[in-house]
């Protein structure tokens, strides 16, 4: 619709008028900007660290109490079950808080593996402290400060590598990543 020349001399002509058009139903975010995924990946990682620390401390304490009654097969089974449970707990919490963040999932796997390592390795200093007190810990630190990590890796009965220890790390990491993935994706869809 065109109104023609301006009725007032010296004014520009009247522009045509068009009805308002609706915008597109979806506008993509500007280049380089990711859509908001929700969640808090940094908070998820810190929560995972805290929970992993507490769970590994509980496991080490449980071992100190029941170590005299464990056989080698029971000890191995208990350690692998602990690694899976620890990974599942860390993965569920990180998936719930971090949602679909890939960085949070990767951190869940690393945190769960570290939790499995420290849960098994910290048993030895706690047991030495229970049996010999402060002087036992002091002697261990003077003799070999990395003794708990070496004992975690070494098979005490055969003298070689204890392959259940690295297997526990892999199980914990896989459980944490998988459950964080499932919980994060399920939470986003809901």
Torsional class of 4: left (φ above 0), alpha (ψ -120 to 50), beta (otherwise): left
Alpha-carbon distance of 54 to 74, in angstroms, equals 23
pTM reported for the whole predicted model = 0.74
Per-residue pLDDT tens for 15-47? 666 666 676 676 666 665 555 556 788 888 899
Quickly state the pLDDT bin for 152 (edges 50, 70, 90). Answer: confident
CB 88 within 8 A of CB 180: no
Q: 76: which residues sit within 8 A by CB, 6+ positions away?
A: 164
Query: In the predicted model, is pLDDT for residue 117 greater than 90?
Result: yes
CB 72 within 8 A of CB 160: no
Q: What is the pLDDT of residue 100?
A: 84
Find the range with the poorest average confidence among 86-90, 118-122, 168-172: 118-122
Vertex 131, ends 127 and 136: CA angle to 5°? 85
Query: In the predicted model, is pLDDT for residue 62 greater than 90?
Result: yes
Query: In the predicted model, is pLDDT for residue 187 greater than 70?
Result: no
């Amino acid at each position: 619709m065109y109104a023609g020349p301006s009725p007032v001399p010296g004014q520009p002509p009247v522009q045509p008028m068009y009805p308002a058009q609706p915008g597109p139903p979806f506008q993509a975010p500007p280049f380089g900007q990711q859509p908001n995924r929700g969640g808090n990946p940094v908070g998820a990682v810190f929560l995972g660290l805290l929970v992993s620390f507490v769970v590994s401390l509980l496991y080490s304490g449980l071992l100190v109490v029941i170590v005299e009654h464990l056989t080698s097969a029971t000890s191995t089974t208990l350690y692998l079950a602990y690694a899976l449970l620890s990974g599942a707990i860390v993965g569920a919490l990180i998936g719930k808080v971090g949602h679909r963040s890939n960085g949070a999932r990767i951190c869940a796997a690393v945190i769960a593996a570290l939790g499995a390592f420290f849960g098994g390795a910290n048993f030895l200093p706690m047991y030495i402290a229970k049996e010999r007190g402060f002087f036992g810990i002091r002697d261990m630190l003077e003799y070999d400060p990395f003794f708990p990590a070496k004992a975690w890796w070494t098979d005490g009965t055969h003298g070689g590598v204890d392959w259940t220890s690295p297997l526990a790390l892999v199980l914990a990491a896989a459980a944490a990543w998988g459950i964080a993935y499932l919980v994060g994706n399920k939470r986003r869809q809901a």
